[in-house]
Amino acid sequence: MLSQTHFQFPHQQNFYRGKVRDVYHFADHLVVVASDRISAFDVVLPKPIPYKGQVLNLIAAHFLQATAQIVPNWLEAVPHANVSIGKKCEPFAVEMVVRGYLAGHAWREYKAGRRTVCGVALPEGLKENDRLPQPIITPTTKAHEGHDEDISREEIIHRGIVNETDYQELEKYALALFAEGTRMAAERGLILVDTKYEFGKHEGQVYLIDEIHTPDSSRYFYAEGYAERQAKGEAQRQLSKEFVRQWLMDNGFQGKEGQQIPEMTEEVIANITARYIELYEKVTGKTFVKQPYEHILTEIEQSIHNYLVQTA
């Protein structure tokens, strides 16, 4: 498994370890290594998940390449299944969360009696996993550490986190990407329930950055049987990381102080791996090919080195 990397490349300027990615900074480029670490409730769980990094990286590349006509994105190369290299952008300090259905965090807020999420009013009488009248944007602040926080469009602009002109552009791109993601999901027999997008600027232009439409950033339902399950009040069949969160909640963990992460048995880990691979194959229509771990650190380092030499 790939739990973390510690490379040192010529002309490397900085290194940042996120919850699940190791990011190497250069003057004009970012090299992002998708590890097998897994996080939930903004906590990195103690054991990595085999092949998770490859799944995330390859799904993100698939959708970035498929949506490049909607908004320019940062990705330039995928020299290894765990590696993406692209333009270094100055990120906006918000995540654009788009929701087409009432699920996850939004449902938990609604169930608690709140009818406004991030300044967006929700109608009465909705059930968990109901389709919303139209997709909504419920932004969050982007925290380097700790929890991201809900915030309204008005507060983002009022506090100067993003100026109004840029924010309108982010809204336009986020909704267009969600529409295309919805269309692509429908072709695969899936419903794109909700997702998040991150944006940055490069040479004055807005770019889509980070991953998109992966199980770490998105929630999918199976379209077949959705209406019947809703009518009966049954849980939806879904492909997302929500099953990891649900397993944690069922075992008494929600990332709160004093709570202990439940034991991740081999069976639990194998099940998470299988769900990630299932999602890759379902959303892309491609067969997942496992890259062996035997020499993975050497192979990743060499793939990055070769790209940097070629583009120097």
3-state secondary structure the chain: CCCCCCCCCCCCCEEEECCCEEEEECCCEEEEEECCCCEECCEECCCCCCCHHHHHHHHHHHHHHHCCCCCCECEEEEEECCEEEEECCEECCEEEEEEEECCHHHHHHHHCCCCEECCEECCCCCCCCCEEEEEEECCEECCCCCCCCECCHHHHHHCCCCCHHHHHHHHHHHHHHHHHHHHHHHHCCEEEEEEEEEEEEECCEEEEECCCCCCCCEEEEECCCHHHHHHHCCCCCEEECHHHHHHHHHCCCCCCCCCCCCCCCHHHHHHHHHHHHHHHHHHHCCCCCCCCCCCHHHHHHHHHHHHHHHHC
Residues of the chain within CATH 3.30.200.20 domain(s) are 14-89+266-311
pLDDT digits (tens, 9 = 90+) for 273-300: 998 998 899 999 999 999 999 999 999 9
Identify the band that residue 245 occupies on the pLDDT scale cut at 50, 70 and 90.
confident
pLDDT digits (tens, 9 = 90+) for 6-31: 999 999 999 999 999 999 999 999 99
pTM for the full predicted model: 0.90
- Record the tokens describing residue 253, joined without a space: 């963990």
Least confident among 78-82, 135-139, 257-261: 257-261
pLDDT digits (tens, 9 = 90+) for 36-70: 999 998 899 999 999 999 999 999 999 999 999 99
pLDDT of the residue at 25 = 96
Q: What's the topology of domain 91-240?
A: D-amino Acid Aminotransferase; Chain A, domain 1 (3.30.470)
Residues of the chain within CATH 3.30.470.20 domain(s) are 91-240
Q: Tell me if the domain spanning 14-89+266-311 has CATH number 3.30.200.20.
A: yes
226, amino acid identity: Y
